[in-house]
Structure formats: structure tokens, C-alpha cells
Amino acid sequence: MDQITKDQTAEESQLSGKHILVVEDEALAALHLEDMLQELGCEVMGPAARVKHAIEILDQGLPDMAILDLNVAGELVYPVADTLAARGVPFLFATGLGIASLSENYRDRPVLQKPFAFSDLRDAIQASLATV
């Protein structure tokens, strides 16, 4: 096993068993994200295709972190972000709109620009979890 593969395996094992809430309304994007998270060894909560559903999931138990699509079925995801922030759960935004589209209150949060690569997802999750 070369050094890069060993390093990637060690990084990915750090994510093994982490519970990640996915809030994404596009079924194909949600499935793809779920597949990538499972490849990292994560447990997926959701995916939630509506803000209300995401809040219901959070009322049942907290994830280790969350990945939030900015616009979920025509509704901005900020109520979910507010709930996560109040409960001390790290999160990042996944959007095709870029950081400029975020409310100023959330521009300090990590943003994954859609479409994103597997390595970008892994790195963003690790960075988000490191800030806790």
C-alpha cells in the first residue's frame, strides 16, 4: 500500500461511524451523496427532502454533523442551520450558488460547491468536525 493510500485510509477511518444528516431535495443528488458518505464509513441520517422533515429528524437525535443544501424544495435551509448551531452541531452547506448566496450570518461556514468531488466532500467533513 503506498503512502497516499495509507493516509487516505487513516483519514477515512476517522469518519467511520459518524452520523451525518443530509438535507437535500434532489433525489439523485441525495443518493449520490449518501453513497459517498457510506464509502467514507459514515451513517446517513435522512436524507431529508424538506426543512420540516430535517427538524423532525433532529428532534429524534443529533448527528455528528450535517450537510445542508441551501435551497430545499423552494425553502431556504436556515431553520435547520439555526437548530444545528443552537445545539452545537457542525454543518456545511452544499450548493451550486456559491458562498455569496449565503446569508451573512453563515458565510463563515464551510461551503461545498456543487458538483463536488469525493475528496472535497471528505476534506470538508473532516474540517467541519475538527472545529468542534
Domain boundaries, the chain: 17-130
Domain 17-130 part of CATH 3.30.470.20: no
Three-class SS of the chain: CCHHHHHHHHHHHHHCCCEEEEECCCHHHHHHHHHHHHHCCCEEEEEECCHHHHHHHHHHCCCCEEEEECEECCEECHHHHHHHHHCCCCEEEEECCCHHHCCHHHCCCCEEECCCCHHHHHHHHHHHHHCC
Predicted TM-score (pTM) of this structure: 0.88
For residue 110, what pLDDT is reported? Answer: 87
Specify the pLDDT at position 14. Answer: 83
Show the low-confidence residues of the chain (pLDDT under 50). 1-7, 9-10
Residue 107: per-residue pLDDT: 87
Give the pLDDT of residue 10.
45
Angle, helices 118-130 vs 3-15, to 10°: value is 60
